[in-house]
Amino acid sequence: MESKNTHCTTFKEEGIIFPIPIFSKEDVLNFKSEFAYMENAFGGKLPYAGNLHFSLPWAYNLAIHPKILSIVSPILGDDISVVGTLMLTKYPKTENYISWHQDGLNSKWDQNNSLTVWLALTNSSMVNGCMQVIPGSHKNLLQEHTYFLDDKNMIKKGHKITANVNEEDGLNLELQSGEISIHHNSIIHGSKCNSSENKRIGFIIRYVNTKYVNSGTAVIYAKGNTESDDLNKINKPQNVDSKHDPKLYKTFLTKNIVIR
Summarize pLDDT for 47-94 with one digit per residue, the tens. 999 999 999 999 999 999 999 999 999 999 999 999 999 999 999 999
State the pLDDT at residue 220.
Answer: 98
Average of pLDDT values for 17-40?
98
User: Which domains, and CATH codes, for the chain?
Assistant: 4-259 (2.60.120.620)
Summarize pLDDT for 144-172 with one digit per residue, the tens. 999 998 999 998 888 899 989 998 899 99
Distance, CA of 255 to CA of 17 (rounded, Å): 35
Alpha-carbon distances of 164 from 70, 109, 184, 187, 233, rounded to whole Å: 36, 24, 20, 14, 40
pTM of this prediction exceeds 0.85: yes
Summarize pLDDT for 91-149 with one digit per residue, the tens. 999 999 999 999 877 776 777 899 999 999 999 999 999 999 999 999 988 889 999 98
